[in-house]
Structure 1
Amino acid sequence: MLLMRAAPMGYAKVDKVDAEEARHLKAQFLIHKALEKNAPTRRPAAAASSRGGGCRVVRPSRIGVRLKRLRIAVRSIRLRVCRSVLKHLRNLRRLGCSRS
């Protein structure tokens, strides 16, 4: 339990802190620090409004991000397949075989 001595119209001075409460306060502080450290940095509102004409930028949903990544992956696979087919065709031409 937290024992406090308070003067009228003044700040309370802590005499003694319970061990369990001290652990709880320390855990809260560490959680707050970790969240503060991992929080993304934000631009000031003035910079965002001047760039977008006052429109608010909406972050895409997680599904939208996943679809975008899937599209990029499919595009890269398609590109690799096309390159490998062209490489095989070049090798066939070099060997003197005709395409049928």
Structure 2
Amino acid sequence: MLPASAATPPPAYGKLDKMDAAEARHIKAQFLIHKVLEEATSSSSTARSRRPPTALVRVKARIGVRLKKLRLAIRGIRVCARRAVQRHLRNLRRLIAHGGGRGSSSVKPAGPPS
């Protein structure tokens, strides 16, 4: 027994003496639909069979792990830098609030020498 696709050939253009315009459009549409379906089934079967090589998958996994470690390291550096900046700003605020801090008595106002 033949498969269903072999039993029914694809619709083709037919030249008849007199063909209605609507019927001609219908036959053309059937032909184009059949053509698109054939292309879709042929391309989907080849797309499924292609898989990336295992070496490439391993490399991608390694790159992913390295990127994750790098992101965590950058986050740690960013946290340390932020803490250092906050500490310096806190010290600067204290100096400003207390009028110069410890070394204020030894600082002389700038002016002409006497």
Could you state the TM-score of these two structures normalised by the residue count of structure 2? 0.37
Work out which structure has the larger RCO, using CA pairs closer than 8 Å and 6 or more positions apart in sequence: 2
Could you state the TM-score of these two structures normalised by the residue count of structure 1? 0.42
Bigger proportion of residues as strand:
1
Bigger proportion of residues as helix:
2
